[in-house]
Structures are given as C-alpha cells and as structure tokens.
Structure 1
Amino acid sequence: MSRLGLWPGLALSVGAGALVALQSRYNGELGSELGSSYVAALISCCVGIGVLLVLTLSSRRATAGLGAAVTMLRRRGVPLWALSGGFAGAFLVLAQSAAVRSLGASLFAVGSVAGQTLTGLVLDRFGLGTGTRVPIRPLRALGAALAVVAVLVAGLGVHAVASVSWLVILPLLAGAGTGWQAAVNGRLRQATGSTLIATLLNFSVGLAALILTAVVAVLLTGMPTTWPANPLAYLGGAAGVAYVLLVTFVVRATGVLLLGLSTVAGQLLASVVLDAFLPLGPRPDASVLIGILLSLAAVVVAATPGHGVTAASRPRLPRPR
C-alpha cells in the first residue's frame, strides 16, 4: 500500500498531466503525418508496450509478478472489468491522433476537463478508485464546478470558436475515459501488487483493441504512404507509459477527482507551452490562459484538507487469493 501523502501525490499528478500534453503533441503529429489516426494510435501503443516489456524483463521481481498476474487472471482472481482501463487508454491515444492537429494541444486539454471532472466525482462517490467512498462535499463540488467553468471560458477563444466541430466530442469522451482508467487501474495495481504489471496489462488490452481498429482501417483505406521524419513523433507511447505508471501509483493518495483536477492543471500548463513554442494546431489565446488559472484554483479548492483521501482513511482491502 502506498504511504504517499495527499500533496506529494498532487505534485506527481501535475507532472503526469504534463506527460499527457506531451503525448498529445507527439501522437497528433504522428497521426497527421501518417494520414491515419488508427495506425498512429497502434504505433504509439506498440512503443509503449515495448518500453514496458523492457522494464519488466529487466527486473526479476517484475517478471515473477507478471507470471503471478497471468495466473490470477486465469483463476479470475481479479474481475475482468478491472482490465477495461486499457480500452479507455486506447481511445485517448486514438482521440489525440485524430483531433490535436485541428484543435491544438491546449483546446484538446481543456476539452477533456469536463469528462475527467464529472467522472471523478461519480467514481469517488462509489469508491472505485480508492477503495473508500468519498462523499461529494461542498468544496469538492465547488472545485469541480470551477473546472467546468474553466472549460467554458477557455472555449470562448476566437480560435476555439473557429475550430469547434464534432472533433470536440473526442477530448470530452477521452477525459471521461481517463477518470475511469485511473480508477480501475488503481484496483488492478492493488490486485497485482505492482504498478508496472498493472500498467503492462492495461496497455496489452489497449493494444488488442487498437490492432483490431487499425486492421479494419487499413483494409478500408490502405497503408500510410508517408512516415514522419521527426523521431520524437514516435515517443507518444513512452509518455503514455510514464503517465499510467504515475496515476496508477498516486490514485489511492489523491482520489479520482483530485487526480483528475491536478493532472488537468499540469496538462493545461504544458499544453500552452507546447502550443506556444512547438505549435501543431492553433495557438492558445487569453481565454485559454484564464481557463488554466481557473483549473489551478479548482485543484486548490478541491484539495482543501479533509476532502482528500488520507492514509488513515484508506481501508486495508484483502488481496485476492
């Protein structure tokens, strides 16, 4: 069980959010250059799986843990729904590859806030991420409301109005999936006893889903004819691995809602920096910057002492046999 405190957990969550912005930037470039978001998402996931396999095989403990996890799955020692976070991760990568070029990393990040925030409130209420039911108290609700207001304000920018289309639905759904992914991965980590193994299982499920969608896409439209010359465009999967490792580790310290809010803050800040200096889509304007400040305020309000998940409040859940 992690003894990580609330505020260190929030600091790590902000860093995880910055990794999501980096992942979005790289996956967006890969999808744009290939002309196929499905193939780009598959490549990104394959890179992530490769990184995870290297980490796993370089550790005897992790290798033994992988064998134990496979045995546990065969014996149904962990519910199958706990593996569904992989589908959410696959959809996030697919949405990044398809939408970041048109929306920009900043608007994509802002669009995912609503899904993350509302999903976090519900999941914390039922204790799906932490093992502890966290009631929707006034300050938590206010923090979530501020995050939603940040979405609305950031969406009022001139470039946002010109870019709003059905593509905005993708980051909204991806944000909701991110909250669910963090919750079920926290349970998967508890069941396997390893953040690394839980992340590898998560990526494996996502890989299976992306292989299926990429095969269908290639059969319908053919293989990409151009490939990115920039090697950094292929690193989205590595950033995704680092993100999942971090959020799987800290979710029991922060709860799903605070995890979502703090990763959003880091994602927004990093997205603005990337859009300003390494633009792939529209550059952020003043409304996006105001939205970032509101998101940061939402994190502080929702993280007020007494509204997080502390070590003393975490139940000692039995490990599956």
Structure 2
Amino acid sequence: MTAPRNERALPLPVGVTAALVAGAAMPLQGRVNGALAAETGSGLAAAVVSFGTGLILLTAVVVLTPVGRRGLREMPGHVRDGHFPWWYMLAGIGGAYFVLGQGLAVTLLGVALFTVANVAGQILSGIVADRIGFGPGGPRPVSTERFVGGMLALAGVVWAVWPTLSATGVSWATIGPMLLPLTAGVLTGFQQAMNGTQTRFYGNPLPATFFNFAVGSAALVTAFLVALPFTGAPAPLPGMWWMYTGGLLGIVFIAAGAVLVRWFGVLVTSLGLIAGQLAGSLAMDLVAPVAGARIDLATVLGTALALVAVVIASAPRAGLRFR
C-alpha cells in the first residue's frame, strides 16, 4: 500500500490565513456568476459556464504538467488498493448541488436566510465528519473549543445578516425551502473531507479538484438540458472577460479546502472558509458596492465574531470533550 505524501505539518497561522483568503474568493465568485446570470437570464446557464471554464483550465493544467498526469495515472491504483472508495471522486456533485440550490432557493429565501441555513449545515457536517473520522485526519474529538467555536461562528453569521433577516422576516413558507441550503451545507462538509482524503494520497490537490469540476460540470449540464424545454434558451454570452473568472475562483476555494482539511479537520477548515466569505463580502461592499448594498454595525461585528470563532475552534489543546 502506497504511503500518503506530504505528511509534514502545516503551521496553524498559515492554514488559517489560507482559509480566509480562499473563503474570500467565494463572494467574489458569487458577484461574477450573478452578473453572468443577469446577462444570460439563466442562473443555471451561468453555473454551467462557471464550472465549464474551471474544467477547461484544470484539464489544461492536468494534461500539461507531470504532477497532473501522474495523478490521473495513480487514481485507479488508489481505488484498487482501498485508499479511498471510487465514489469519493463524485464529491463534485456536492458543489453542483450547492450551485443549483443558489439558483432555486435564493429567490425564495433571500441571501441572508440562504447563508444562515447553509452555514448551519456546514457546521453540523464538520462536527459529525470530524467525530466519526470521515476526513483524512481521522477522528477528532468534539472538544469544548471546537464546539464553542462552531456555535460562535453560526452566531456571527446570524449577527452579520441580521439587518437583512429582520427586514425580510421568517415565515412558515420559508421553512421548507431552507432545507435546500441546509443539506447543501451538509454536503459541502463531506465534500471537503472526500477531497482531503484524495489529496492526502495524491500529494497535491490538483487531481481531486479536477474530478470535482468534471463531475460537477456533468451534473450541471445534465440539469441544464433537462430544464431547457421548460425555461427556454438563455441569452447569448456576454463579451466581458471578467464574467468568466468564476471557475478560477472556484478552483481556489476547492483546492484550498482539500489541502487544509487534512491538517485542521472539516470543522475548523469550514469555519475558516466561512469567516473568509464574510470578510470578503464586507470588503466588496466597501470597495465595490452594488446598488442597494449597505454596511451595518451588525455586519462588521458579526464578521469579527466569526473570526474569533476560528481562533477558538483551532486552539491547539484538547479541552473538555462533549459526549
């Protein structure tokens, strides 16, 4: 059985910084994909283009680099030797499900409710995946620091979106649709664990990221073709180059998660990415606000609380264990 590569520990400050940077790429991707959806009149078409451009870029890198070609050659051997099940390579379905959830549920729930439900799912899956040892680092106990960090992160997200949440309100009609972002968040945590397990044996995140985009693109194209008779053809693609950078930003997010989950577990990695998303959204509203965007004190304090949650959850001590 081949031993995993890259076993040298990753310093905690480096990992947390990488998670924050990668998380900040997601609101930027959302802004790019949102603009593309507005131009084409189809959120599903924008998702297909985003995944498709990422897949084209990754295919070129995999084909042209020795490390990429080696990963493709070694994949059957890793599955045959039992390093990870073959269905781990279907982790990209989780990303496709998240994108579909955005298109279907955001219009019903609004961004605030969607974000809260999605983050709750990520925190839940992070705790469960770490506890049962689903990730590449093996079982991780639910210590006091990790539990408190997860709850503080959820509180920080609720606090950050509270101005929007209080304006729109929550009704019984929104409870059902909230299950979509909630389950998407659960899948995101397990997706990161599966990607991290693959990356541990490949020695780099390139093969796992490639398979994520390949499977996700196939799922989205299938959904697009099924919906096409009912929705009609989208408008022609625009000529602005920056509307096609969503795939590159997605690569940064997925690859970083695949690397970091090996060292810090699913929960801490998810919390770092969530904090990065809040900080990135806040930075965009400051630098390049869209129409109707505003920055409230609750948004700033909620983002700060999410950052504190990452520090607490990643504290390098065992703490008390919840049973």
Question: TM-score scaled to structure 2, two decimals?
Answer: 0.84
RMSD (CA atoms): 2.8
Counterpart of 1:296, as a letter, is L
Is the alpha carbon distance of 1:115 and 1:198 closer, same or farther for their aligned partners in structure 2, counting shifts above 3 Å? Answer: same
Matched, 1:302 2:302: no
Is the alpha carbon distance of 1:254 and 1:237 closer, same or farther for their aligned partners in structure 2, counting shifts above 3 Å? Answer: same
Is the alpha carbon distance of 1:234 and 1:109 closer, same or farther for their aligned partners in structure 2, counting shifts above 3 Å? Answer: farther
* SS of structure 1 residue aligned to 2:162: coil
Is the alpha carbon distance of 1:286 and 1:215 closer, same or farther for their aligned partners in structure 2, counting shifts above 3 Å? Answer: same
List runs of 5+ in structure 2 lacking aligned partners: 1-5
- State the alpha-carbon separation in 2 of the partners of residues 16 and 108 from structure 1: 20
Match of 1:316 in 2: none
User: Cα deviation per residue 1:180-231 (whole Å; 9 max; x = unaligned)?
Assistant: 1111101122343431011111111111111110101112221112434432
1:293 CA drift (Å) = 1.5
State the identity as a percent.
37
Matched-pair contact (CA < 8 Å) for 2:147–2:313: yes
1:139 CA drift (Å) = 1.3
Counterpart of 2:243, as a letter, is A
Match of 1:290 in 2: 301
Is the alpha carbon distance of 1:76 and 1:251 closer, same or farther for their aligned partners in structure 2, counting shifts above 3 Å? Answer: closer
**Partner residue of 1:32 out of 32, 35, 38:** 38
Counterpart of 2:269, as a letter, is L
User: Cα deviation per residue 1:135-190 (whole Å; 9 max; x = unaligned)?
Assistant: 11111111111112123323421466328674665544433222111111011223
1:24 CA drift (Å) = 1.6
1:47 CA drift (Å) = 0.5
Match of 1:314 in 2: none
Q: How does 1:270-285 map to 2 (within 5 A)?
A: 270-276=280-286, 277-279=288-290, 282-285=293-296
1:100 CA drift (Å) = 6.4
Matched-pair contact (CA < 8 Å) for 2:45–2:224: yes
1:43 CA drift (Å) = 0.9
Counterpart of 2:12, as a letter, is L
Match of 1:318 in 2: none
Match of 2:256 in 1: 246
1:33 CA drift (Å) = 2.4
User: Cα deviation per residue 1:27-59 (whole Å; 9 max; x = unaligned)?
Assistant: 222223222222111111101101101211221
Matched, 1:7 2:13: yes
1:60 CA drift (Å) = 2.1
Counterpart of 1:302, as a letter, is A
1:278 CA drift (Å) = 3.7
Matched, 1:221 2:228: no
Match of 1:176 in 2: 186
- State the alpha-carbon separation in 2 of the partners of residues 94 and 278 from structure 1: 25
Matched-pair contact (CA < 8 Å) for 2:91–2:194: yes
Is the alpha carbon distance of 1:159 and 1:146 closer, same or farther for their aligned partners in structure 2, counting shifts above 3 Å? Answer: closer
- State the alpha-carbon separation in 1 of the partners of residues 157 and 305 from structure 2: 9
Matched-pair contact (CA < 8 Å) for 2:149–2:312: yes
1:294 CA drift (Å) = 1.4
- State the alpha-carbon separation in 1 of the partners of residues 247 and 228 from structure 2: 21
* SS of structure 2 residue aligned to 1:157: helix
Matched-pair contact (CA < 8 Å) for 1:109–1:267: no
1:110 CA drift (Å) = 5.0
1:306 CA drift (Å) = 1.9
Is the alpha carbon distance of 1:14 and 1:46 closer, same or farther for their aligned partners in structure 2, counting shifts above 3 Å? Answer: same
- State the alpha-carbon separation in 2 of the partners of residues 178 and 243 from structure 1: 12
* SS of structure 2 residue aligned to 1:255: helix
Counterpart of 1:5, as a letter, is P
- State the alpha-carbon separation in 2 of the partners of residues 73 and 212 from structure 1: 26
Greater Cα shift, 170-179 or 284-293: 170-179
Greater Cα shift, 96-105 or 294-303: 96-105
- State the alpha-carbon separation in 2 of the partners of residues 104 and 278 from structure 1: 18
User: Cα deviation per residue 1:258-288 (whole Å; 9 max; x = unaligned)?
Assistant: 1011111111000122234242774443322
Matched-pair contact (CA < 8 Å) for 1:95–1:174: yes
Question: TM-score scaled to structure 1, two decimals?
Answer: 0.85
Greater Cα shift, 77-86 or 49-58: 77-86
Counterpart of 2:315, as a letter, is T
Matched, 1:146 2:170: no
Matched, 1:268 2:274: no
